Amino acid sequence: MCAAYRTSGTVESVNPAFEALLVHLAVESHGLSQSGILRLFCGAAGKYFGASDACCASFFSREGWIIVETEGRQLWGCQGDSLSAATAERLDLAIRTGKAMFCETGANEFLCPQGDSEHSEVAVPFVSHGKSLGAALLLRSEATGRTDQLLVDQLTLLGTFFAVLLDHAHLFEQVYSSRQRWVRVIDAIPVPIIVHNAMGNIVRINRPLADRLGVHPSKLIGRPIREVLGMNGGEGAGFCPLCSDKQEGIEGPVEIFADCSYLVSTTKMGTDLGEDAQMIHVLVNVREQLEAERRYRELFDSIQEGAFFCNPDGHMVEANPALARMLGYLSQEQLVEKNLFEDLVPHKSQRGRLVQGLSDTDSLRNHEATLQRKDGSLLEALLHVTAVRARFQPEHLESYAKYYSRSGCVRSNRLCEPPCNGDWVFVGSPSGPSALTADPYFASPRVSGGLTNRFG
């Protein structure tokens, strides 16, 4: 026979001893897993209410009520076992009413013999904001005392209070799991990542950067980023030497370690620069690319044949010193102000043949052309021209054209957009045209080629 009592909700149900139980559960549950909290309940509630045995169960849509923690002689079964149909029905009723329920049970209802004495089984529902988070079963012998309204009120209040603790523990586990996944994700990213607050103190650093510093990430949290990276930054750098006046964008290259040159991508988290604002810096080492660009620049500037880059309209983008000397200009800067078709190829018929040739094929070999020097005199030359069309070909990322394109950007020590839309590239050599491929950094048609003085 089961009995449900109307919960009074009066303060009489909360006495100092019962308050101490609630405080004990709240304090001791801090930092425990859900399984640990249930184990705490079985022990503390069983002791307070004089229960010889206790268990906590959770409901699963397929399996029904499953025992998750036990205290005592495992009368209802072991951890992971299903509760009997009669016991499950009592728990369902307690959940529906939201109140503790007492039932007088005989010894034959349990897995372990209890003698001939009668026992009182109490079902305590864990319900928070209308959501069921499980239930507990306590077994009290007849000698423990009679069942009264005060006891029912206390058990019902205990179940509601404990449901809140379970709900908070579940939310904490979700937040902790989410944080752990986020930590694993940024640690798996091979490039260094560092996050700091508005005061320049590190709040997160991924493992690749911590390994480079030779310190565990946890030992760097809270330290000033300027101190950790060993950088002073420029004037007005503030707390962080990697931050700039732009607050967001790409800066660099920045020398942090002896063998690394980093491009720094900065993103601000938060709507303002208040105490909660954070800055994320992603560092990409471009030392190898810079070295390759340096070698290419040396080659481009040292070859004796004239080489230049221009867009489809003929506007010059780049020219080497040999071409400037060949055409009588004092510097490359003067030459790049000119237009290939309007200033350097004076004969209209030759301009037409050159444009038509590039329209029909991607390469022109030994194309005869008459160029006009700065002083107005004419120069007979052979053009070796290669057009690089707009294709994204990842297998050609390390192409000669790419190194030129990036070299043009790095001259100003910062990433920038292409110099103009629809660029062509002209590059050449004494023995013929260089083999150029599409550059993914410029999704526009480009042409490459070079020229040689026909008469030496």
Taking only the tens place, the pLDDT of each residue in 338-394 is 888 888 888 888 888 887 887 777 778 888 888 899 999 998 888 887 776 655 432
**How far, in Å, CA of 210 to CA of 193, rounded?**
9
Tokens of 49: 């209410």
- In the three-class reduction of DSSP (H, G, I as helix; E, B as strand; rest coil), residue 196 is classed as strand
250: in domain? yes
SS3 of residue 426 by DSSP: strand
What CA–CA distance (Å, rounded) separates 196 from 240?
Answer: 8
- Inform me whether the pLDDT recorded for 432 exceeds 70: no
Residue at 183 is within a domain: no
| Residue (of 172, 154, 137) closest to 34 by Cα position | 172
79 and 208 in a single domain? The answer is no
Pair 264, 126 in one domain: no
- 3-class state of residue 169 by DSSP: helix
Helix (H, G, I), strand (E, B) or coil at 264: strand
pLDDT in tens, 182-208: 888 889 999 999 999 888 899 999 999
Mean pLDDT (whole number) for 436-447:
33
Instruction: Count the domains in the chain.
Output: 3
In this structure, are 263 and 345 located in the same domain? no
Q: Of 5-19, 34-48, 355-369, which range is least confident?
A: 5-19
Quote the domain boundaries for residue 196.
190-285
CATH number at residue 350: 3.30.450.20
Domain boundary among the residues 225, 258, 285 is at 285
- What confidence tier does 425 reach under pLDDT thresholds 50, 70, 90? very low
How large a percentage of the chain has pLDDT more than 70?
74
Domain-terminating residue out of 268, 285, 302: 285
Name, in order, each residue with C-beta under 8 angstroms of 424's C-beta and a sequence gap of 6 or more: 309, 310, 311, 312, 358, 387, 388, 445, 446, 447, 448
For residues 319 and 223, membership in a common domain is answered with no
Q: 98-107, 282-291, 425-434: which range is least confident on average? A: 425-434
In 189-328, beta strands by DSSP E: 193-197, 202-205, 249-255, 261-269, 278-285, 306-310, 316-319
**In-domain check, residue 280:** yes
- For residue 113, pLDDT over 90 is answered with no
Shared-domain flag, residues 371 and 392: yes
State the CATH number of the domain containing residue 58. Answer: 3.30.450.40
Q: Is residue 182, in this structure, part of any structural domain at all?
A: no
Mark whether 246 and 299 lie in a shared domain: no
- Kindly tell me if the per-residue pLDDT of 10 is higher than 50: no
**Mean pLDDT value across residues 270-283:** 75
In a domain, 31, yes or no: yes
* Residue 137 pLDDT > 60: yes
* Sign of the CA dihedral running 343, 345, 346, 352: negative
Instruction: Provide the Cα torsion 265, 271, 277, 283; round to 10°.
Output: -10
Q: What's the length of the chain?
A: 456
Mean pLDDT of all residues belonging to the chain: 76
CA distance linking residue 147 with residue 170, whole number of Å: 33
Q: Of 143, 177, 211, which residue sits at a domain end?
A: 177
Residue 226 shares a structural domain with residue 336: no
Classify the phi-psi angles of 44: left when phi > 0, otherwise alpha if psi is within -120 to 50, otherwise beta: alpha
